[in-house]
Structure 1
Amino acid sequence: MSKSATTKASVNNSRLSELIEAVKNNDEASISAIIGLGAQIINVSNEFGTPLTIAAENGYSKIMQLLVDADADINLTSKSGNTPLRAAIFSGDGDCISLAISLGADVNACTPRGTALIAAASLGDCETISLLVSKGAVIDFETRDGWTALLVAVREDRREAAQKLLQLGASLDRKNCDNLDALSIAEERVLPEMYALLLQSQIQTAADDALAASERRQDAAALEVEAAAEVARAAAEEEAENERKESEVKMKEISAQTDDLIERLGLQRRNPVSKKPDALKAWLESSAGRGGWSLTQK
């Protein structure tokens, strides 16, 4: 490294230390002055973190906004594995948490220290758990070691957080890298109240699943009955239609026979009704319909 580069790095490190100190002191004026010097240090981390994670963990929402306005990265992970959102959660400051999310923090970002939801679960912060899930946090997101928010809540004996996660749909079946699920962790750590909570949830889930399966079977049966009724209705309509067509055919045959008879009767001399073939035709058709007469061709 050249002497000028070494000097520049030394200046930047010095200014980063000054910036972080100003952030810790909530000193907006000094922060603005240091940023105004143009040093590219706003997205750099030292052993304490980035300026933004430090502002978040101290609950300084105005400083967070100031840094983001100066192009601080809301999703940058510090050397210690922290993000501004996780830092805000550990600060317990609701305004900083909401601000981080509104500024675009990734609610599912996972560092070696876990996700934001896991951080909230470890603290038993039910309000933040609900907020994160409503903003799209994956409730059963697993770290590389297989830890989920629920497993961490159980490990830390955060019963209210565990209950909230279960209400929001967390799975009791997930296991960590040691092949331990939530019930096993509670049993291993001798947490009787937590164990009872989880067991009750497991029983309730099984009952709900059984009820849902029963309802699905009932719905399927109702659909089968409806389908059978539709088939029967269609068959009845088809049979009625066939009978109607058969009746039409018979009536045409009767009409033809009647026309033939009228024609033959019209050839007879001095037939008293020969001058009224339509009346005779109607009478013959009516009689034929009642089965009251038969005609034999001579």
Structure 2
Amino acid sequence: MLPTHVAAFFGLEKMILHLQQTELDLNQKDEMGYTPLLWAARNGYEAVVKILIDGGVALTWEDPYQPSPIASAARNGYDAVVKLLIQSGAVVDLADENRWTALSIAARYGHEAAVKVLIRSGAAVNSRDICGRTALCWASSCGNETIVKILIGNGAAMDSESDLGWTPLFYAAIRGHKAVVNILIENGAAPDSMDEANRTPLSYAAERGCTAVVEMLIENGAASDSMDLANRTPLLFAARGGHTVVVEMLLKNGAVPDSIDVQNWTPLLFAARGGHTSIVKMLIENGAVLDLMDKYGKTALLLAIANKDAVLVRMLIENGATVDVLDEDSREALHKLLQCHEE
């Protein structure tokens, strides 16, 4: 590190003032590609930033592979430094190689004061990064209710889609942020929006077992039986993941227990394969057909036998699962399994 970079890194004002009187280039980059201004902004040294600016350092930033001073200050929540840089001529919406702006970065890292400074200074609220995500997407993903409200209050688009087709509601639902989901829906977010795979926020929330979010989405009209491109419903994802409470909630709200995907998998087959006994019991009680087969001819009973799950095997047989479909090997495995279980 050069003396100028050391002084800026540690916020040594007197040393910076002294170095300004020398012939050292205050715009020179170190081995990391950082200038003294970038180090000072990154570490929040407002006084050093002001000294450097007053000394004529360049505020333009042309390296897309390194964070700009304003982006670095925003990332670390130094709103006073952000404000100073903007007042001195820094470009508010300067973007890096990922097209992240200072606003999207501040929103992502939860710095409310920096977000407010940037918006007041004219930052584009709906600018999109290289993946099509807006600042509202980032704030929703991180569950920051206050920043979500600030962005919405300043014109953030509720249903702006990323390259995956995800709106801010998707990002909040996937992470289980109930409060943010509520804010977004109250402000007009569509609960049944679909992404590129025809999946909905409910589909992802069910898959991840986000019970509170599932409940809220259903209460706001999300379809319990929406199907993605592979014909998979929220119930199927919940059963596969072993999320008992979510399965119960979906069934109570009209989800079809025997939905079949493109590979002939049903919620019961997934639950049996995963050994989720309570879910299997619940599905049976709600009328699931026991002997449906996947595309390889496997029934729930065969999957339970393969897993050596005696409790589940007995439950399926007692509820009417057909033993006649078993081949000789499966019959032998069933016999041994039940014999061992009884012993």
> Could you tell me the TM-score, scaled by structure 1's length?
0.60
Residue 85 (structure 2) aligns with? 34
Residue 137 (structure 1) aligns with? 189
Checking the alignment, whether the CA contact within 8 Å between 1:75 and 1:105 is kept in structure 2 is yes
Q: Which amino acid aligns with 2:153?
A: S
Give the Cα–Cα distance (whole angstroms) in 1 for the partners of residues 199 and 94 of structure 2. Answer: 29
3-state SS of 1:184 partner = helix
Please state how far the C-alpha of 1:165 moved relative to its aligned partner: 0.6
Does the C-alpha gap of structure 1 residues 98 and 183 become closer, same or farther in structure 2, counting only changes over 3 Å? same
Q: Which amino acid aligns with 1:58?
A: Y
Please state how far the C-alpha of 1:190 moved relative to its aligned partner: 3.4
Please list, as runs of the form range in 1=range in 2, the aligned pairs for 1:5-84 lying within 5 A after superposition.
Answer: 11=62, 13=64, 17-40=68-91, 42-47=93-98, 49-84=100-135
Cα deviation digits, residues 208-239 of structure 1 (max 9, x gap): xxxxxxxxxxxxxxxxxxxxxxxxxxxxxxxx
Q: Which amino acid aligns with 1:190?
A: G
3-state SS of 2:146 partner = helix
Identity between Structure 1 and Structure 2 (%): 23
3-state SS of 2:254 partner = helix
Checking the alignment, whether the CA contact within 8 Å between 1:59 and 1:88 is kept in structure 2 is yes
Checking the alignment, whether the CA contact within 8 Å between 2:104 and 2:134 is kept in structure 1 is yes
Please list, as runs of the form range in 1=range in 2, the aligned pairs for 1:1-298 lying within 5 A after superposition.
Answer: 11=62, 13=64, 17-40=68-91, 42-47=93-98, 49-113=100-164, 114-202=166-254
Does the C-alpha gap of structure 1 residues 29 and 128 become closer, same or farther in structure 2, counting only changes over 3 Å? closer
Checking the alignment, whether the CA contact within 8 Å between 2:143 and 2:180 is kept in structure 1 is no
Please state how far the C-alpha of 1:80 moved relative to its aligned partner: 4.3
Checking the alignment, whether the CA contact within 8 Å between 2:99 and 2:128 is kept in structure 1 is no
Which of the pair has more CA radius of gyration?
Answer: 1
Q: Which amino acid aligns with 1:184?
A: L
Checking the alignment, whether the CA contact within 8 Å between 1:12 and 1:40 is kept in structure 2 is no
Q: Which amino acid aligns with 2:228?
A: N
Which blocks of at least 5 consecutive residues in structure 1 are unaligned?
Answer: 1-6, 205-298
Give the Cα–Cα distance (whole angstroms) in 2 for the partners of residues 12 and 39 of structure 1. Answer: 14
Please state how far the C-alpha of 1:184 moved relative to its aligned partner: 1.9
Cα deviation digits, residues 179-225 of structure 1 (max 9, x gap): 11112222333333322221111179xxxxxxxxxxxxxxxxxxxxx
Moved more, 14-23 or 115-124: 14-23
Checking the alignment, whether the CA contact within 8 Å between 2:193 and 2:200 is kept in structure 1 is yes
Please state how far the C-alpha of 1:30 moved relative to its aligned partner: 2.3
Residue 238 (structure 1) aligns with? none
Give the Cα–Cα distance (whole angstroms) in 2 for the partners of residues 153 and 33 of structure 1. Answer: 42
Please state how far the C-alpha of 1:12 moved relative to its aligned partner: 6.4
Taking only aligned residues, the RMSD between alpha carbons, in angstroms, comes to: 2.7
Does the C-alpha gap of structure 1 residues 14 and 78 become closer, same or farther in structure 2, counting only changes over 3 Å? closer
Checking the alignment, whether the CA contact within 8 Å between 1:15 and 1:34 is kept in structure 2 is no
Structure number having the greater helix percentage: 1
Checking the alignment, whether the CA contact within 8 Å between 1:126 and 1:161 is kept in structure 2 is yes
Give the Cα–Cα distance (whole angstroms) in 1 for the partners of residues 235 and 209 of structure 2. Answer: 12
Does the C-alpha gap of structure 1 residues 10 and 31 become closer, same or farther in structure 2, counting only changes over 3 Å? closer
Please state how far the C-alpha of 1:139 moved relative to its aligned partner: 0.9
Give the Cα–Cα distance (whole angstroms) in 1 for the partners of residues 157 and 194 of structure 2. Answer: 16
